[in-house]
Amino acid sequence: MRHLLTIAVWLLAVQFPLSGKTISTLLSRGYTLLPYPQKVTLGAQDLEFTQAWTVAFAAGRGGDEPYAELNDLLEKRFHLSLHKSTSGTAGNLVRLAITPNTVAVTNVTDSDRAALAEQAYRLSIKPNEITITGNTETGLYYGIQTLVQLLKEQAGKIWLPAATIEDWPDMKLRVIYWDDAHHLERLADLKAAIRQASFYKINGFAIKLEGHFQYSHAAPIVDPYALSPSELQEVTDYGLKHHVQVIPYLDGPAHDAFILKHPEYASLREFPDSNYEVCATNPETIRLFDGMFDDLLAANKGGKYFVLSTDEPYYVGLADNAQCQEAKQTKQLGSPGKVLAGFVTKTAGYLHNRGRTVIFWGEYPLKPDDIGSLPSYLINGEAYGPRFDPVFRAHGIRQMIYTSTEGEEQLFPNYYVLPSSSLLHTTEEGSRKGRVQEMLDTISFAPISDPLGVFVAGWADAGLHPETFWLGYATGPAAGWNRHAMNPEELQGCFYSLFYGAGSTNMGRLYQLMSEGARFWEDSWEIGLSTARKPIWGNSSGPFHPPRPARDQYLPPLPVPSPGVLHVPTDWLAENDRRLTFASKSLARNDELLDLLYANVQTVRFNRYNLAVYLSIAKLYRQNLAMIRDLGQIAQLLKQAGQAAGRAKAADALASLDQALDAAKIIRDSRNQVLRDTTATWYESWFPRVAQANGRTYLNEVDDVKDHQPVRTIDMSYLVYRELLYPLGEWANQVIAIRNQYAAAHGLPYRDFKLDWKNTSGKGSEN
């Protein structure tokens, strides 16, 4: 065994190098856990775990669920199924027990030790006997997750370390935010996400559905595909079975374009010309929210929490118009923060009176002097520093530590940072840490007294697939469980091992290449004022007068050769030399990425669909890089056509133009193929994004303030939105006209060609 352990540790070091940082006792023996336990005592030997082990559990509390949970995990991960012990005394026995006060919690951040103790367990692994004892059913459940995580396949056998583990969370709530505002998972996939979360001891699943829930009190906002009340209850019950609270998440008073874009609710707008924010003082607003609360609560029975997302209510207290006079109340109360507090008091009070603990964002325009106007039963979902913390604490409002695995990044989170030397544009991105390190720093150094949990968000405003969030979803809450185990490299490495299982290869490098590919995908285009989208109404500083143009990405357009002599007026190649050079280097990295993805998707034990999603994203990267390269080739062909025309070689000039047009068509066809493939992959877990279905119609209207990229199109073509704006179709139409004029002047064949550039439905055809 000593030799095998040495090989295992070497393989782990290759899988995730730890930058010289000390590794944990468990990892030094080749075992991975996420989150890391509070107390670990390792014995000298390792034990083989086989089908011969049996399980003893005194059914009663929880019935046979712990036994079923253990067997379900063993079957899924190792194809093992253990029988119940008939005597409870035979050798090779796994004992499951619930014994109150078995584990006493110590040295914790959260002052609510009773709540922490409910999640505590002891795991004892000895030759011929494994005992998992939970203080409660929840503690036993977490002990089972730890046991299964510890199992290690090696040399055709499954091993465990002789050990005693005593464990409990540092904070009682570890919530991930699941953003289904712009897509909806199929029911089985939502359940799978909850099950996956529970494996990492995440106990809160805050789900933002917006129009993807069938409200009876707000029927106009319901999207073509939406969870029914019975389906949301099914998801809730499934979460409770796995000790995960499914937490409804509803925005208000801001981020409400999904409501206010509908004509039926335009009268509730704070400003008539903006769909961003409701009028917080309008009784009809409160009535609408109360009805939506009722709908969600009725479909979330058994839930304890509700997220009333008071996120970014920039304009509360400013309106003074015919349908909203908040400014008058601001003057009466003395601050816009107190107007917001009034809205929160009414809406949160409705939820509180129905048994829910309300999590909100106690942010601007709230100031410390406004906190006293809030009800003390709230939980503040984000700490705001030393000016706010003691005031919230004195008022009795507990707080959480907020962080995120994804913010505004394109296609893939910023887990690894692309060096500034590889970027076309100088940004602060090059100096930032990766997301995991940022999350751990936030949790470790949060300026907050007595936090009760962590809230890890995966924002989908940029339309990312949530499969890309799991590295952050697993490692961020792990720091909420054990705030002292803060080595990001080890946490990432443990995630790769546990999430993908045996057969995964060089996952750290794979994630690095995925992250770097996404950063260059974004950086490879320019940003300028949009002529395709409506102006932005305002930002965090206030309304714009008048609204300002939105911003879109663009590439420099190709030049059009002059009639007759085919002279190219600009040197596109010279102007884009750095872009072409960087794209060429990125193509080489993309080769390596695709090799890793194709290798791993065939060999990993778990979560192959996750890698299929990554493959689709890597191909989006590649299509962009190939497009830039091919635009360069087109520019070269245009130059060659002009040179041939100058030498009176008309046939050669025409051949170069035809090759340029053909290359443009190849770009379009390649884009469409990648989009079709990506859509097919993502729709394996998503319902289709469509205009109409189930007797309901999606109203396609963008947010007036926030740029949510998925709402730029009804379907999945938002992933290639910037390409659709690129004027390659107009360029091709101009070039074909000049080409045919030149052909006619030189007695050469006419060509019937039209590039339907914006057609994403298929390859299209030449006319």
3-state helix, strand, coil in the chain (%, to 5): 45, 15, 40
- Which position has the higher pLDDT, 715 or 431? 715
Residues 6+ apart with CB under 8 A from 193: 178, 185, 205, 466
Q: Stretch 26-48: mean pLDDT, rounded?
A: 93
* 766, part of any domain: no
Note whether 227 and 130 are same-domain residues.
no
What average pLDDT does range 223-238 have in this prediction? 98
CATH classification at residue 212: 3.20.20.80
Name which of 689, 524, 530, 526 is nearest 623 in CA terms. 524
Query: What pLDDT score was predicted for residue 445?
Result: 84
Residue 449: band (very low, low, confident or very high) from pLDDT cuts 50, 70, 90 = confident
Mark whether 128 and 259 lie in a shared domain: no
Per-residue pLDDT at 430: 41
pLDDT score of 466: 98
pLDDT of residue 309: 97
Q: How confident is the model at residue 7 (pLDDT cuts 50, 70, 90)?
A: very low
Check residue 110 and give its pLDDT.
Answer: 93
pLDDT at 239 over 70: yes
Decide if pLDDT at 201 tops 60. yes
Cα–Cα distance, 694 to 463 (Å, whole number) = 23
Is the per-residue pLDDT at 218 higher than 60? yes
- What mean pLDDT do residues 415-429 have? 83
What pLDDT score was predicted for residue 155?
85
Q: Does position 2 have pLDDT exceeding 80, yes or no?
A: no
Give mean pLDDT, residues 711-740: 97
- At residue 240, the pLDDT reads 98
Q: How far apart are CA 240 and CA 234, in angstroms?
A: 10
Confidence grade of residue 504 (pLDDT, cut at 50, 70, 90): very high
In a domain, 297, yes or no: yes
Indicate the DSSP class of residue 262.
S
Do 299 and 251 have their domain in common?
yes
CA 278/CA 242 separation, integer angstroms: 36
What is the Cβ-side half-sphere exposure of residue 618, based on CA atoms within 13 angstroms? 23
pLDDT beyond 50 at 534: yes
User: How many Å is the Cα radius of gyration of the chain?
Assistant: 29
Least confident of 9-18, 497-506, 754-763: 9-18
Question: Is the residue at 606 inside a domain?
Answer: yes
Read off the pLDDT band of 23 (50, 70, 90): confident
pLDDT at 89 over 90: no
Residue 542 lies in a domain: yes
Q: Both 678 and 636 in a single domain?
A: yes
One domain, residues 178 and 162:
no
Domain total in the chain: 3
Comparison of pLDDT for 14 and 100, the residue scoring more: 100
Confidence band of 438 (pLDDT split at 50, 70, 90) = very high
- CATH code, 110: 3.30.379.10
The mean pLDDT of 576-582, rounded to a whole number, is: 97
Q: What percent of the chain has pLDDT over 70?
A: 95
Residue 1 binned pLDDT confidence (cut-offs 50, 70, 90) = very low
- Same-domain pairing of 142 and 21: yes
Looking at the structure, tell me whether residues 163 and 179 fall in a common domain. no
91-116 pLDDT, tens digit each:
799 999 999 999 999 999 999 999 99
pTM (predicted TM-score): 0.94
pLDDT of residue 6: 31
Helices (H), 38-90: 65-78
Q: Check whether residue 324 and residue 463 sit in a common domain.
A: yes
Residues 483 and 588 in one domain: no
Could you identify the residue written with the tokens 């309304």? 543
Q: With respect to residue 193, please indicate whether it lies within any of the assigned structural domains.
A: yes
Tokens describing residue 689:
């994004």
Among 127, 151, 167, where does a domain finish? 167
Inform me whether the pLDDT recorded for 8 exceeds 50: no
What interhelical angle do 488-500 and 435-444 show, nearest 10?
120
Given this model, what pLDDT does residue 90 score? Answer: 66
Of the three residues 167, 202, 237, the one that is the final residue of a domain is: 167
Q: Is residue 433 part of a domain?
A: yes
pLDDT given for residue 705 in this prediction: 96
At 117-155, the pLDDT tens digits run 999 999 999 999 999 999 999 999 999 999 999 999 988
| Residue 545 within a domain | yes
**Looking at the domain assignment, is residue 508 inside a domain?**
no
Average pLDDT of the residues of the chain = 93
- Domain final residue, candidates 167, 189, 223: 167
Residues 158 and 180 in one domain: no
Q: Are residues 33 and 93 in the same domain?
A: yes
pLDDT at 427: 66
**What's the domain range around 400?**
173-491
What single DSSP character describes residue 568? -
Examine the domain organization and report whether 642 and 587 are in the same domain: yes
